[in-house]
Structure 1
Amino acid sequence: MSASVLVTGITGNVGEFVAEHLLRRGASVRGAVTKAEKAREKWGSRVELVRFDFLEPATFDRALDGVSGLFLLRPPTIADPKPMMPFIQRAKERGVRHIVFLSLLGIERNPLPPHYRIEKYVKNSGVPYTFLRPSFFMQNLNTAHCADIRERSDIFIPAGKAPVSFVDTRDIGEAAAAVLCDPERYAHHGYTLTGGAALTFDEAAAIFTSVLGRPITYSNPSAGAFRREMMCRGMPREFVNVMVALYFTTKLGLAKRVTPELEALLGRKPTTFEQYVRDYADCWR
């Protein structure tokens, strides 16, 4: 089915795979970006790129012009979701017929992260919606935590000993594209997206060790030590606070749930953690 979709976060861990799979399905894709240079190098003429910023309402109409579907992603730098609300309202006014929001595993029972309020606002907007609630991204380990693994051979994350149902963002992107191209089937539903198994970070480190051929440890720092280190590295305070909160819920065991929902959306088994490490091995070498 052909569709016209606006993808926010198209240069990120999930958005690029959403766009790729939408294109494979024959959809017309518009990418919302703050700076077009990097995105233009990747997408060329395959994706229409428009300047967009949640904090600049003047950018809303051009981004929303003529689109029927919206892939909505909260930028990591926005801890308070209030700036996103006017955009959601404008999407409704401009005729968007389906919003797919990238939310968070277990958010329906956890009002602390900003995703909870965004879900509530989207639902109350009256626009048909689908909430994708993924577990811990595998790709966090080759982006936000890449340097620790590559340069220090350590997974520096304050997540305790609880199992985590790691999920590959390539799978999330494929699932999101399927949902966006068939809104009547998937509207007004929330899906909890996980990998096929839950692993502790110690078990994840063992897989890294096996694939990379050198010892990789999991140091399991305290939340305070993690926060101090991230701040010293120059990460924005609000972003660090969100990371600490999410890893705290992981430590409590809230990310261990494994569901069949991603497999049902994909029509195949989710990507395994070992396959992910093999595919991205060059990132840590």
Structure 2
Amino acid sequence: MPANPNTDLLLITSAGGKQATALLPLLSSWKNIRLAVHTPASRARLQALHPHAETVATDLYSPSNCTSLLKDVSVAIHIGPSYHPHEASIGKMMVDAATNAHANGTGRLQHFILSSVFNTQLSKMLNHDSKREIEEHLIESGLPYTILQPSTFMDNLPVAHLASQPAPIFRAAWSVHVTFSWLALCDLAAAMKSVLEGREKHFYAQYPLASTHAPLSFSSALAILSDKIGKEVKIEVLSFGQAVDSLLIRLYGKIEGVDPRSKDAAQRMILYYDGRGMRGNSNVLEWLVGRPGVQFGEWVEGKVREGGK
């Protein structure tokens, strides 16, 4: 049976992040939503934005907290804390708690949706390998699951910031000539909604998700962006050390005091992207959402319109 937005209780973890932020506006028909965040500040912000939802500030690195979060939940969307030194352990704890809540089909939980990453086989990247561990644990758990594997997010490009600068400069953390398959967050949100509400037709599936029909380098992407905003975006390629520091600041707001394991993951990803990029196919996304994915130029146009409001 498909999901019932009137009676099912939906849990979303990392609910203050970009994936959940894109998804929540699509869930107006859902009457019962529990949002898990890490800090009281995030809880207050989400409560103001989504007063109909139950918002919980909790530490997911705790089996008992995971169990509490899943109480009475019908369907869970687990979005893990990327680059967290215990991301794999947190994911496994969530799977274990969900397995207990499912109780071999006699419990309340009916579906576990994991937001993972494109190409988890790429074990040279520690953040991919952590998600591979979670996927393996989930597949072996006996839970009815769906695994979503998003590729590189278009939304990580600061379009509004670049458009507002008189002489915009994009500081690249890796080679701008290697190619990537890109995903728009709005497409990921649409795919999540389709899987969430379709439920049984998506059991035991793994869906690699990309929007772009063909791989695109950052150099080509920035040329498109330049054309759309009417000014040339110059490119400055950072040194390896600068690139790592830049990513850590984006993730944690600081460089000092970041767990060395998180820094290791950032370093590995930058080295891999610099040499190899990451490529895939858009067919699965198109099937899931019933339309072509948003192409990069379309996405930039949408962001420019949003910035002009």
TM range, normalised to the smaller chain? 0.7 to 0.9
Q: How many residues align?
A: 281
User: What is aligned with 1:271?
Assistant: 294
> Contact 1:8–1:33 (CA<8 Å) still a contact in 2?
yes
Distance change (3 Å), C-alpha of 1:230 and 1:173: closer
Distance change (3 Å), C-alpha of 1:8 and 1:131: same
Higher Rg of the two aligned structures: 2
User: What is aligned with 1:137?
Assistant: 153
2-side partners of 1:199 and 1:125: how far apart?
37
Counting aligned pairs with the same residue, the percent is: 20
Q: How does 1:1-285 map to 2 (within 5 A)?
A: 1-2=3-4, 3-24=8-29, 26=30, 28-34=32-38, 35=40, 36-45=43-52, 47-80=53-86, 81-95=88-102, 96-110=109-123, 112=126, 113=128, 114-142=130-158, 153-197=169-213, 198-230=215-247, 234-235=254-255, 236-237=258-259, 238-281=261-304
> Contact 2:13–2:37 (CA<8 Å) still a contact in 1?
yes
> Contact 2:150–2:208 (CA<8 Å) still a contact in 1?
yes
Is there any run of 5+ residues in structure 1 with no aligned partner, and where?
none
Is there any run of 5+ residues in structure 2 with no aligned partner, and where?
103-108
2-side partners of 1:127 and 1:89: how far apart?
10
The residue type equivalent to 1:270 in the other structure is G
> Contact 2:62–2:90 (CA<8 Å) still a contact in 1?
no
Instruction: Give me the CA root mean square deviation.
Output: 2.8
Deviations 1:86-131 (A, max 9, x none): 2321121122332111111111353743111111111122212111
User: Which deviates the most, 162-171 or 269-278?
Assistant: 269-278
Q: Give the TM-score of the pair, scaled to structure 2.
A: 0.80
2-side partners of 1:12 and 1:90: how far apart?
22
1-side partners of 2:140 and 2:163: how far apart?
42
User: Which deviates the most, 266-275 or 212-221?
Assistant: 212-221
3-state SS in 2 of match to 1:181: helix
2-side partners of 1:149 and 1:99: how far apart?
40
